[in-house]
Structure 1
Amino acid sequence: MDIRQIDENVSVAGQPTPAEMRMVAEQGFRSVIGNRPDGEEPGQPAWKELEAAAQDAGLQTQFIPIAGAEDIEARKDDFAQALKDMPGPVLAFCRTGTRSGMLYEASRSADG
């Protein structure tokens, strides 16, 4: 799992498996934000499975699916609020981590 730290509290990554959620917790993360919509490609784990595995590993969870650029603008305030509300460090993920990183950048302007 390729995890990239983007600030002291937030890292981004590509799609984890449910089994990898324990490793995420072992690496010190306290929360995960799922930015990948369900059903994006065959065989992808559903958010429900990922959320259950994350919670079993002791992680807080939030689902903020981002399908494209229009969703980034529409959901940046939700992401900023999640970062305020959730204990850090936080791991946000999508298919490759790119959308999560873009959402993080957009949320910085929403952070006021």
Structure 2
Amino acid sequence: MEYRQISDDYSVSGQITADDIATIKAAGFKGIICNRPDNEQPGQPSADEIRKAVEAAGLGFRHVPLISGQPVTMEAAEAMAKALDELDGPVFAYCRSGARSTNLFLAAQQVRG
């Protein structure tokens, strides 16, 4: 599994599976954010499936979905900022490619000041 570090305490990747959680935890991440809506693609693990594996591993989880191709709304940026504030870091976020997770992070930074 490959991921990109966006800041000292935030990294992104494409879709993960429950089997990836141990690797994410071993890399030192404390929280995971899913930025992908459920049922975006056939065979995609649901946010609830990932949440269960994340919580079983003792990590925090938030679901802040953003539809692919849609602009980041103020509501989505605020929800992402809240998720980042609530989770212990470093935080690992994912979507289909990592782009939405990156864009939401940047928008959340504007909200957070």
TM-score higher than 0.5 here?
Answer: yes
Q: Percent identity?
A: 38
| TM norm structure 1 | 0.94
Alpha carbons 1:22, 1:53 under 8 Å: kept: no
**Runs of at least 5 residues in structure 1 that lack an aligned partner in the other structure:** none
* Cα distance between partner residues in 2 of 1:4 and 1:30: 16
The 5-angstrom pairing of residues 1-112 of structure 1 reads 1-68=1-68, 69-70=70-71, 72-73=72-73, 74-112=75-113
- AA partner of residue 91 (structure 2): V
* Cα distance between partner residues in 2 of 1:22 and 1:95: 20
* Cα distance between partner residues in 2 of 1:81 and 1:8: 18
The list of structure 1 runs, each at least 4 consecutive aligned residues, that deviate by more than 2 angstroms after superposition, is none
* Cα distance between partner residues in 2 of 1:41 and 1:85: 28
Aligned pairs, how many?
111
**Runs of at least 5 residues in structure 2 that lack an aligned partner in the other structure:** none
